[in-house]
A and B are shown apart, each in its own frame.
Chain A
Amino acid sequence: MSISYRLGRLLDVLVPFIAVGAALAVGAIILSFQDVNPFTAYEAMFSGAFTNKNGLADTMVKMIPLLLVALGVAIAFRGGVINIGAEGQLIVGAVLTTYVGLQLGDRLPGPLVIVIGLAAGALMGGFWAAIPGYLKARLGVNEILSTIMMNQIAIQVAFYLLRGPMIDPAELAAGTNIPHSARLPQSTDLPRFTDMAKWVGLDKSAADLGLTGFAGEVYGLLVEPTRLHSGLIIAVVMAILVYIFLWRTTIGYRIRAVGLNQAASRYAGINVQRYIVLSMTLGGMFAGLAGAVEILGLHHRMFEPQAVSAGYGFSGIVVALFGSLHPLGIIPSALLFGGLLVGGDKMQRAVQVPQVLITVILGMVVLFVVSADLWVRRRVNRRVSVDEESPPKPPAEPSPEAAT
């Protein structure tokens, strides 16, 4: 454990932060060209997303789908498949959850419908991802391209259903025919944080308790009426479960093994094709779950598919990369990028900088992170070669197993 080794480890952790810093710097240059003071813009972004309870609530509301999608992306990437299809998987998940909620909402108790709805969304997302997974495993179809095409198909399927079988009867009656579904029964709403605070007897506002400043805002976030809903708990619990799954179970170990070296895994007796389909399907299940949570926790109805998916399928990839494809790294990463998305919106209102600046920054973060990967790998290689140069050990005694 030399100092340079520790410094190197520190650099590995810092790489994503340097990437975001560099992306923000390039964004600042673009802003300067448009005669906008970048510091004013970024200040508006940060304070809008992180300093008051409504901003924090919006940030965490966006963090939920980002975290779930990124978990799915991370599982797939760890398994050696690149899932760009989270956008479509989220949409089909949201559609089936809406359908289930509308069909069962009035007949079964709310919590049961929520559980069935979440499961349905996850399964639908998994099914949507299993198709490109299977095509990749059996026919060698490039999964990046097929998942991108599946996104477009999902959008059209959703539009078809929302214009036809699933359209809100009120829209038909009014003759406006806007493609969205009816609202789900309120019994199927995921509880909001303010509801849960009331259940445990917290009903005083921050002002009542004399809490001021940031503490007051955080208290307000958890107790006072905001949009923040219990999907956040689901997402964080899922992150911990994915960590346990990938690093503490045999199946998780095999997924990572296939991702690191397919040939070696095959030699070790792992059915590589099956694990490709599996990691793709699991990835899709998390995207589908994200869609289900968005419907039950936030929108309560299905509408224009791209407005529901809101680009989470792509920003989720950035979140996953930024979190080093590690479930526990992805939690803070999702919080940061949730803040970036909300902050972009606030920035647009404060200094009239179009919100798409965030898309530019997301793209640059991806380019920086994948480029910086080279230095991380180079350092690892150097470490290995240094180890090889150390004095050779005497040949080991043959172990009894090897002798037989």
Chain B
Amino acid sequence: MNENLTLLAIVLGILHSGIRLATPYLYASLGEMFAQRSGVLNLGVEGIMLMGSFFGFYTVFETQNMWLGLAVAGLVGALMGLLMALVSVTFKAEQGISGIGLSLFGLGVSSLLFKMTLGTVEGVDGFSELKFCLSSVGVNSGVCLSDLPVVGDIVFSHSLVTYLGYALVPVAAWILARTTWGLKIKAVGQNPEAADSLGVSVSAVRYATVTLGGIFAGIAGASLSISLLGIFQENMTNGIGFIAVALVYFGGWSPWGVLAGSLLFSTVSAIQLWGQVLNLPIPSDVSVMLPYLLTIIALALPIRRAAQPAALTKPFTRGEG
């Protein structure tokens, strides 16, 4: 009986952490999905996340204003996205290598500024958890959804940043499926020549999606530093940005697929964290390795490979081919 209760508590804990930890994956890979749907593989996500992570954290550290921190992270992300768009759309550079360059650049700048300003690891409070209380909508009652058994713990006790990440999934799906913008993005990613001949500016669409992806990646980084962990460390993303790029492949370039992938990865991370807490007889080195191993396996699975945008990684030049 007692053992069953502990097991239940652990499972609840894993599910709670899983939903929480999916936040950076969700933002980063939803943004990256838009870039890839328009034909640009932005491998600089890791660097953009680190920049957003630092600038968001520094802003909150100085002003105590969480939303300002998030906005600054988004702005820095947009600038980094513009840089990636300049290199990969205007200069038509090899996207894989330029993304690695952008990641090195972001790692360098964020670490440099961290050392020159903060110097040591500092903490901030982070976003508070929403409790979904009736009192907050004007009903005079102490009832909160977070008090619900099981579901309350798992679903109704996260920060607004996390909920916004989840809310973006249907929004992204709607944009892709139901708006002219979505149609243009998909056309540019599938057949840029045809889109161009119909008067869609391939460059403008790609600039927009890569910049949007940059904003999301910046926020993803900030969600890690100011919301989930409350600290900034050098290279704190440690590969999450690259996993986010892989999640877009894994999710078959669809928002719902990306959601499923994000949850899978965050749950694996949660299991790994709880494994360490519970002193499971698995060496920590092996469990730390799991998400990366899973990424390779996920990339090798033949999931919706046909959905890959035909012009992915191919720069567009009018009058070619």
Which residues on A are within 8 Å of B, measured CB to CB? Answer: 30, 34, 82, 84, 132, 135, 139-142, 144-146, 148-150, 152-153, 156-157, 159-160, 163-164, 314, 317-318, 321, 354, 356-367, 370-374
Residue among A156, A365, A370, A373 with the most chain B CB within 10 A?
Answer: A370
Q: List 7 A-B contacts (CB under 8 A).
A: A145-B249, A156-B289, A356-B107, A363-B101, A367-B93, A370-B94, A373-B91
In the assembled complex, the CB of B219 is this many whole angstroms from the nearest CB of chain A, namely: 22
The chain A residue sitting closest to B110, CB to CB, is: A356
For the complex of A and B, 9 pairs with smallest distance between CB atoms: A366-B101, A363-B105, A359-B108, A363-B104, A360-B108, A370-B93, A160-B285, A371-B91, A156-B289
Q: Is the pair A321, B111 in contact by a Cβ cutoff of 8 Å? A: no
Q: Is the pair B108, A358 in contact by a Cβ cutoff of 8 Å? A: yes
> Known: A362-B104, A367-B98, A370-B94. Contact between A149 and B300, CB under 8 A?
no
Q: Is the pair A149, B296 in contact by a Cβ cutoff of 8 Å? A: yes
Residue among A160, A164, A366 with the most chain B CB within 10 A?
Answer: A366
The reply to whether the CB of B127 lies closer than 8 angstroms to some CB of chain A is no
Q: Is the pair B100, A317 in contact by a Cβ cutoff of 8 Å? A: yes
The chain A residue sitting closest to B295, CB to CB, is: A149
In the assembled complex, the CB of A177 is this many whole angstroms from the nearest CB of chain B, namely: 13
> Known: A149-B293, A374-B91. Contact between A366 and B100, CB under 8 A?
yes
Alpha-carbon gap, A140 to B215, bound state (A): 30
Alpha-carbon gap, A30 to B238, bound state (A): 25
Chain A contacts for B175, CB-based, 8 A? none
- 0 or 1 for each of B259-281: is its CB under 8 Å from A? (1 = yes): 00000000000000000000000
In the assembled complex, the CB of B60 is this many whole angstroms from the nearest CB of chain A, namely: 21
Main secondary structure of the interface of B (DSSP, over half): helix
Query: Which residues of chain B (239-267) have a CB below 8 Å from chain A?
Result: 239, 242-243, 245-246, 249
The reply to whether the CB of B96 lies closer than 8 angstroms to some CB of chain A is yes
Residue among A156, A356, A360, A367 with the most chain B CB within 10 A?
Answer: A367
The chain A residue sitting closest to B94, CB to CB, is: A370
Q: Is the pair A146, B93 in contact by a Cβ cutoff of 8 Å? A: no
Query: Which residues of chain B (267-321) have a CB below 8 Å from chain A?
Result: 283, 285-286, 288-289, 292-293, 295-296, 299-300, 302, 305
The reply to whether the CB of B131 lies closer than 8 angstroms to some CB of chain A is no
Alpha-carbon gap, A363 to B296, bound state (A): 26
The chain B residue sitting closest to A160, CB to CB, is: B285
In the assembled complex, the CB of B119 is this many whole angstroms from the nearest CB of chain A, namely: 10
Alpha-carbon gap, A365 to B105, bound state (A): 9
Q: Is the pair B286, A156 in contact by a Cβ cutoff of 8 Å? A: yes
Q: Is the pair A314, B104 in contact by a Cβ cutoff of 8 Å? A: yes
In the assembled complex, the CB of A261 is this many whole angstroms from the nearest CB of chain B, namely: 14
The one of B93, B111, B283 in contact with A371, judged by C-beta atoms closer than 8 angstroms, is: B93
> Known: A164-B283, A356-B108. Contact between A82 and B97, CB under 8 A?
yes
Alpha-carbon gap, A160 to B43, bound state (A): 29
The chain B residue sitting closest to A158, CB to CB, is: B285
Alpha-carbon gap, A366 to B100, bound state (A): 8
> Known: A314-B104, A366-B104, A371-B91. Contact between A360 and B97, CB under 8 A?
no
Alpha-carbon gap, A156 to B285, bound state (A): 5
The chain B residue sitting closest to A359, CB to CB, is: B108
> Known: A354-B116, A373-B93, A374-B93. Contact between A363 and B98, CB under 8 A?
no
Residue among A84, A144, A358, A361 with the most chain B CB within 10 A?
Answer: A144
Q: Is the pair B292, A153 in contact by a Cβ cutoff of 8 Å? A: yes
Q: Is the pair B286, A354 in contact by a Cβ cutoff of 8 Å? A: no
Residue among B94, B98, B238, B299 with the most chain A CB within 10 A?
Answer: B299
